[in-house]
Chains A and B, each alone.
Chain A
């Protein structure tokens, strides 16, 4: 039996029920989110499993992973701290904010801290331009927004995660 179906059968059925029965392919994006929850990224095995559920080739599933930025095909930190530094946020100091956070964590944008807890990324507009500096946190639990941030408030958040991990 398909391992994803075995583990998330009911959830997968609910997802498939959203789309016409002859248009199962529409479920590829929600199913990728289900798969990504397992390890924080999509594995090669997942590609085949999702392809099997939707009757499409694993390479077609892989093309979706490659096209959309919220899917990852390599492991990252447990938390992906994604800072918007597009124009409106940058006009409110997002570049300096990102630099401050990176300096403090000892990473460059795109890198993961040595303890594997945080990956810092610079991302495109997140529709919160009036509350910059801001970032979103992508983890296995989903995505949450953190607005009107300072370097200190961000470091405090990261310290909280680290304590959680150390338990």
Chain B
């Protein structure tokens, strides 16, 4: 079922402008510009219950309504930095269903009164940026982008901007700094981008997938959209499935689909018939869920995933089978986070360095149980102490694997000489 976002799998050539228009493409945008007040579009998106698909799950319409109307100009910035290990959905949407994505950008820009929109793509998406530039040029040639659209006073330009290899630029304020030509380091918030964003002006930053939902919400209506998913998490979601599964890939499913259905029905189960051990539902930033029956039967939506000790995030489901030991896994994630820490906040810059080295030591059989305790201690001193979420993210797999898969670490470093007090192994919480 690819009803909203991955329609290119069912509708051949929807990536061509003529075909997209045959399927009511840009009707919603035209109707908005010629017949709706900008706030009406925002209200519609708010009523749809659409939540940001980049990871935070915040109400999209609510975010749009926060735009500061006392300061101008306004900007729309699209977060196409897709860099979370395990996430590869935005790339497919932009590649294969580009006009629906662009129409979403255009509706957002109209709703918040922006005349310029920037699509910030990770530098690796070099070919994709050229592809989008060509689609934007087509829209300009067709009179769907430019000045005085449909005889109105409204005009809009869309520009692509390539990053250059920095995970941190997926954090919205770091992305804005980068777009301004500076180091991609996060800003202190508040103020938030809807009041102080790009060039200090009110700015809406949205993820690619979020915006790709908007044209069909405006075209087919709020009730239609709410017919998918759950009450608090309406709509469908593109789940990026990776790791030890037979058929990795993107799957568009209603929010609230269970892990079991995604992994076994759609993903074909575990590679080589092995048993599943753990699930990371939000990419490398995720806690590790013990993949028991309770977890497998948990619906994947924003409100249910926390009940098994993780977040849905960007829904990048990494499946880990029984052949994997957690000391290896967290060494991998820490290698990533140490490399990607931007260096601005001391706990993250130093903490990821030490965690990486401790996981290295544990993985290479050079550690004792004290190192495992020390690793937890360092993690607890990073969590909640940084400007952005990267520091926190780096601790999730570390803390959850030690508490939930303790046996892996005991097997690796040997049992502690004296039994550790439970307090030492308690999950670190804020």
Q: How far is the CA of A101 from the CA of B185 in the complex (A)?
A: 35
A70 touches B (CB below 8 Å): yes
Query: In whole angstroms, how far apart are the Cα atoms of A23 and B180 in the complex?
Result: 7
Decide: A32 and B164 in contact? CB cutoff 8 A: yes
A86 within 8 A of B: yes
Q: B160's closest neighbor in chain A, by CB?
A: A18
Q: Considering only CB atoms, which chain B residue lies closest to A65 in the complex?
A: B164
**Min CB gap B155→A, angstroms:** 15
Extra inter-chain contacts (6) besides given A68-B164, A70-B164, A86-B284, CB under 8 Å = A26-B179, A26-B180, A29-B164, A91-B242, A127-B91, A142-B127
CA distance A63 to B86 in the complex (A): 29
Measured between beta carbons, the chain A residues less than 8 angstroms from B127 are 142-145
* Interface residues of B, Cβ cutoff 8 Å to A: 82-88, 90-91, 122-127, 159, 161-167, 178-184, 199, 240-244, 248-250, 284, 316, 318-320, 324, 329, 332-333, 336, 339-340, 342
20 CB-based A-B contacts, threshold 8 Å: A30-B162, A32-B164, A68-B164, A68-B165, A69-B165, A87-B85, A88-B242, A90-B332, A92-B248, A124-B83, A124-B336, A124-B340, A125-B83, A125-B84, A125-B85, A125-B167, A125-B336, A129-B242, A142-B126, A143-B123
Give, as a whole number of angstroms, the nearest-CB distance from B167 to chain A: 7
Majority secondary structure of chain A interface residues (helix, strand, loop or mixed): mixed
Which residues in chain A, 117-135, are within 8 Å of chain B measured between CB atoms? 123-130, 132
With both chains docked as a complex, state the minimum distance between the C-beta of A63 and any C-beta of chain B, in angstroms: 6
Tier of interface size on chain A: 35 or more
Which B residues are in CB contact (< 8 Å) with A56? 181
Which of B88, B123, B159, B320 contacts A70, CB < 8 Å?
B123
Q: Closest Cβ of chain A: how far from B313's Cβ, in Å?
A: 14
CA distance A144 to B243 in the complex (A): 23
Closest chain A residue to B122 by CB distance? A127
Judging by beta carbons under 8 Å apart, are B162 and A126 in contact?
Answer: no
Interface residues as binary, A128-167 with B (CB distance below 8 Å gives 1, 0 otherwise): 1110100010000011110000000000000000000000
By beta carbon, the residue of chain B nearest A87 is B332
- Given A29, A54, A90, which contacts B162 in the complex, CB threshold below 8 Å? A29
A65-91 interface mask toward B, CB cutoff 8 Å, 1 = contact, 0 = none?
A: 001111100000000000000111011
Leading 5 A-B pairs by shortest Cβ distance: A68-B164, A69-B165, A25-B181, A130-B248, A129-B242
For B88, the chain A residues whose CB sits under 8 A away are 127-130
Is there contact, CB below 8 Å, between A68 and B163?
A: yes
| A18-42 contact mask (Cβ, 8 Å, vs B): 1 or 0 | 1010010111111011000000000
Query: Which residues of chain B are near A143, meaning CB under 8 Å?
Result: 123-124, 126-127
Residue A64, interface by CB 8 Å: yes
Check if A68 sits within 8 Å of B123, measured CB to CB: yes
Given A63-B183, A128-B88, A86 and B336 touching (CB < 8 A)? yes
Question: Using Cβ atoms and an 8 Å threshold, which residues of chain A touch B163?
Answer: 29, 68
- Given the complex, which residues of A lie within 8 Å of B318, measured CB to CB? 87-88, 91, 129
Q: How far is the CB of A116 from chain B (nearest CB, A)?
A: 23
Task: List chain B residues, Cβ under 8 A from A128.
Answer: 88, 91
B87 neighbours in A (Cβ, 8 Å): 125, 127, 129
Which residues of the partner chain A approach B339 to less than 8 Å between Cβ atoms? Answer: 124
A90 to chain B, nearest CB (A): 6
Contact present for B162 and A33 (CB under 8 Å): yes
**From A56, A64, A87, A128, residue with most partner B Cβ within 10 Å:** A87
